[in-house]
Structure 1
């Protein structure tokens, strides 16, 4: 276990879980009502969160979870910092960037090990835009400025020898608005995720240039394993609410284990119909393309955290100047304990 100064009760809980105590610990929860912010809940990036909600895994842990769906990951982070959310389902990248700003934000369970972000160029411009070097001067749609999709674009620009300021990042959200922005010519390209990308591909509206839905694509852009979606919160929250945090981790690990054994059709039938965007077959096909991106255990990899830090150092001046202690950006004890708690 990591050397976080948690209350003694959290150690007792972890030990109890290791020896097979039930996952439900309602009487021990510091709080039963938890607010979670997410930037684009319908995206496959955050599917384990929806599964945990729809399958009742949060309720099994004695939790009443309220999920606020915001336009992008940076907005979810703002909700946490501002105090309107207890926890965020968001990008692991934010834990590092916030440490560079002097704020201790800690991830405590992994949802995804591949971002699944795609950069697609409008078909009518694809003949002139063939690599990241050609992005200079363009308007590029991202879920929200400062979000993981925006960081993805910055990564591509820096690798191509450009500056992150060489493009204009336009917030287009994570749903129908993103599709409309590209198809109506409001942006020249988009950095987004499925099912948005799947819809644009089906409409023959984009040419995919960079794709992290696959292991090969992740390696090309990020150089190796890369943590994507996680649950993160303030270090003080983990300290003050160890049992509640454990219950949240249990629910997500339960969702990950269920997804690993379920068929794509079972997963699709679990999410709200509104997620399909009116085309269940397309949604199912897109899900199959993303199934390899999810964590099987919820646990952290030192290699993956190091790759995230290396990527951020390439374009984030605050990260470049800061001394980052990666061990303070994540705590693996909750996901590890959940392995025994969740069968």
Structure 2
């Protein structure tokens, strides 16, 4: 009898001590919808790698990735409730806090924006400075997206207002390439592989290139975190284990990319990403690789840089009192790197 009582007590103790650990590891939400604006871009390569190599599934997640024409539309999907998480530009977290809809970034995909501003050599053969863009048509992935925000920032530094140019959404794929080649737009703010494709065919003259982290810091005056996973603050706080699983997958993808060669990337990404030219895609990857995060860590000074860029074209944002520390967390990334030190 005493033995049975002792065994029962031991089992009860094990249950009470083990249950919290089990609950802590269990995913609160296994099905997650991620909205992204231009999934084929190198800007979002870690997302594709995590999906294609099964890193999300390895964490117990059933992830549905929905692609949109630009980051602004991906954000709208989360605000509207049709998606849970955004894979998009970090600066949206700053913008949304100012609008009273706080978002929090929890893992970085890009160290630098990777956005290139270039002019059309056919319609602007005598281009000399940013001032020459006044009155011109400029293509961005989508109005309000990170490509639009960077364009506005560069214009502001040159003394131009957003209203001094005509902005046209051209997407992040073949449509953007066609718009430049046909002369529909005089300049473009876009990313790879679109940029490399246009460069190789002689349809683009690069003016600002933030694929290079050093140039990005020079342009923005500090570290400018780019692609990341972010979500409404209530989502992050309500589903911490799910957020941790998402972070784990992206950190593994980040590390895999740093060790990968062009041939490895070609084998993993969908054929449609190549835009019909593998050589161009390889060149684009080599150009973008230095701007991709090696470990998912968000630079602490990044939010300040993002706010400066946004405030340069938005007086209301410049006057707003924001808690920039609430726009991101590195807690999940630290745990992910401890779990996957080598990817």
1:57 is aligned to 2:59? no
TM-score, normalised by the number of residues in structure 2: 0.91
CA distance in 2, matches of 1:342, 1:62: 16
**Aligned counterparts of 2:204 and 2:261: Cα–Cα separation in 1:** 29
Decide which moves more: 128-137 or 281-290.
128-137
Task: Indicate yes or no: 2:316 matched with 1:323.
Answer: no
Query: Does structure 1 conserve the Cα–Cα contact (< 8 Å) formed by 2:135 and 2:164?
Result: yes
**Which ranges of structure 2 fall in alignment gaps of 5 or more residues?**
1-20
- Name the Cα RMSD after superposition: 1.8
- 8 A Cα contact 1:126 1:207, kept in partner: no
Asked if 1 retains the 8 angstrom alpha-carbon contact of 2:123 and 2:183, the reply is no
> CA distance change for structure 1 residues 27 and 221 in 2, over 3 Å: closer, same or farther?
closer
Equivalent residue, structure 2, for 1:90: 88
Single out whichever of 324-333 and 84-93 deviates more from structure 2: 324-333
List per-residue Cα deviations over 1:232-252 (Å, max 9, x = no partner). 000000111111000000000
Quote the residue 1:340 is aligned against: 338
> 1:196: Cα distance to partner?
0.4
Does the 8 A contact of 1:26 with 1:62 survive in 2? no
- Report the equivalent of 1:10: none
Q: Secondary structure at the match of 2:301?
A: helix
Of 36, 39, 46 in structure 2, the residue corresponding to residue 38 of structure 1 is 36
Q: Distance in 2 between matches of 1:268 and 1:227?
A: 26
Say if 1:26 and 1:61, in contact at 8 Å, map to a contact too.
no
For 2:181, the equivalent position in structure 1 comes to 183
How many Å apart are 1:26 and its aligned residue? 10
Aligned length: 323
Q: Which runs of 4+ in 1 moved over 6 A?
A: none
* Aligned residue among 265, 287, 290 for 1:289: 287
Structure 1: stretches of 5+ with no match in the other structure: 1-15
**1:308 is the counterpart of 2:330:** no
CA displacement at 1:53 relative to structure 2: 0.4
1:227-246 equivalent positions in 2, closer than 5 A: 227-246=225-244
DSSP-derived class of the 2:105 partner: strand
In the other structure, the counterpart of 2:15 is none
After TM superposition, give the deviation of residue 128 of structure 1 in Å. Answer: 3.0
- Helix, strand or coil at the partner of 2:122: helix
> Is 1:196 aligned to residue 194 of structure 2?
yes
Take 1:213 and 1:296, find their aligned partners in 2: how far apart are those partners?
15
CA distance in 1, matches of 2:26, 2:151: 43
Instruction: Identify the residue that residue 71 of structure 2 maps to in structure 1.
Output: 73
Pick one of 235, 253, 258 that aligns with 2:251: 253
**Structure 1 residue 140 corresponds to structure 2 residue 132:** no
Cα-to-partner distance string for 1:92-137 (whole Å, 9 max, x where unaligned): 0000011111111110100001111111111113333221111111
**Selected match of 1:161 from 147, 151, 159:** 159
